[in-house]
Amino acid sequence: MNPVTAECYFVSLLVVLLTGCTFEADQWTTMIPAVGASSSPVATDLNGDGYLDIIIGGAAQEFDPVEASVIALDGITGDILWEVKGHNQVVGTAVLRDVTGDGTDDVFIGGRSASFKAIDGRKGSILWEYLPYDTGLDYVNDTTLLNFYTAQWITDADGDQVEDLLTAYGGFVKARRGDPNRPAGYLMILSGKTGRTISKVAVPDGKETYVSPLVHDFGAGPEVIYGTGGEDISGNLYRVALDSLLAGSLASSRIIVRGNKKGMIAPPVLTDLTADGVADIVIATVDGRLVATDGHSNQKLWSAGPAGDFDTYVMPAPGYFTGDDNVPDFFASFGKGPWPDTDYTLHVLVDGSSGAIVSSDTLGTFQYASPVVADFDADGTSDVLVCINKTTVIGSKIHSETYRSNDLYVFPGGRGPARRLLVPEIGTNLGSTPLLTDLDGDGYLDLVTAGMGDPINFYSFKLLNVKRHELDVAAATVSYGGYMGAGRMSCFQ
């Protein structure tokens, strides 16, 4: 690539895939130089103007203080509404509830080094913290200071008239690759009103935990779905009655899917594959499988995945992509080779009724942002939008530089050939799932993305760019519009 081509490639303005002759796209970019992100954006009206605003977690380098660990942006202008400082990366995605009674959603979000914050959505002030920053604590070496991931609301457990929060607490960043001597992860229930710990129970196999847990009633009362293990540590996907966790025990947990020599990282998707009215469980295991399990009987329905050495950290995207049935299908992404040595990403479409791989396509390098689903070409069929990281080598045999860019591609009907949606951006999108919504209520689809604008360093955690791209696409066509379903907590109908 010559310098002129490279400049056009990296600096071009936004180009919308489908542009009507009278359509004028609303768009903005907000750049925050000192932070990056692997959290995903969510939307709610914070300033009372009747339009949706954006909340996202921010991150600096591991263990560095973060001036903007949680960021709220005006959805119409991109202006910063408020920022909250933090002592380490916020990697979870926010969940929302109005607990102050002012008519505005408040923000609940977690991250590394035991960071979990409840924030007044209108004011940006701290309502409570699980563990406020303490200079006397050793955040680097203390194996009790683990990480919070994306939480989920449960019914009021402590009788204070406010719903409470289920979350996972685990992962120790200093653990060496392949070292099984890691602190056990926990399931925790925190008071939504005060942050008080209602329940904290170690997972039964003593392994680490990264999976954002789910709670769902499969017909016999609410159950918690949670996972253990990691990139190279074995673990399983489990289910247990919520009442057991509230009583302080996970001993009655049942294994849903075994992780073999690796574990579970991405949350599962809950959807009915058997037409029995009960949600089934679909999980992407780290060792490169997509496994569907009957939500009623716990029996395996099917297992799919590419042959060879593939891993995955990405949630599958559900949608009706193939066949004439009413069974959801799944778009899943698998990395060739274990992290951090991923050579490329393979994207596959799996038939939800049989587990057969319908199509596959190779595109991009390592990332763990999840795909999202809408009808981007107005043909009545759902399409998949995927974030792609790319590397471009510029130079000669004597001297060359590797530049990084991130792209958005649409897989029509969930299968290739993929089409580029927008002009590529400089830098990387490590794990920020795009948000599909309608910020201003005009019926057009708004696409909100977050990436880091460093063209050289993959894990730069700086030069955060949050962008709004309005598309000439009907907002009503969205069927799975963000991380974990953008507020539906991985449930799909």
Question: H/E/C letters for each residue in 288-344?
Answer: CEEEEECCCCCCEEEEECCCCCEECCCCCEEECCCCCCCCCEEEEEEEECCCCCCCC
Residues 213/187, Cβ–Cβ less than 8 Å = yes
The pLDDT assigned to 323 comes to 85
What are the per-10-residue average pLDDT scores of the chain (493 residues)?
32 37 88 96 98 98 95 98 97 98 98 97 98 94 96 97 98 84 96 98 97 97 97 95 98 97 97 97 97 97 95 96 93 91 93 97 94 96 96 77 93 94 94 97 98 94 97 97 90 87
Residue corresponding to tokens 């402590």: 158
The pLDDT assigned to 6 comes to 32
DSSP 8-state class, residue 368? -
| Tokens linked to 42 | 């969510």
DSSP 8-state class, residue 160? S
| 265-321 pLDDT tens trace | 999 999 999 999 999 999 999 999 999 999 999 999 999 999 999 999 999 999 999
Peptide bond into 340 cis (omega under 30): yes
Whole-angstrom distance, CA of residue 260 vs CA of residue 286: 9
CA distances to 4, 49, 92, 459 from 9, in Å? 9, 37, 32, 22
| 355-390 pLDDT tens trace | 999 999 999 999 999 999 999 999 999 999 999 999
Residues 209/226, Cβ–Cβ less than 8 Å = yes
Residues 25/59, Cβ–Cβ less than 8 Å = no
Q: Which residues pair with 215 in a beta bridge?
A: 224
Residues 30/80, Cβ–Cβ less than 8 Å = yes
What are the φ and ψ backbone dihedral angles of 402, each rounded to 5 degrees?
-100, 120
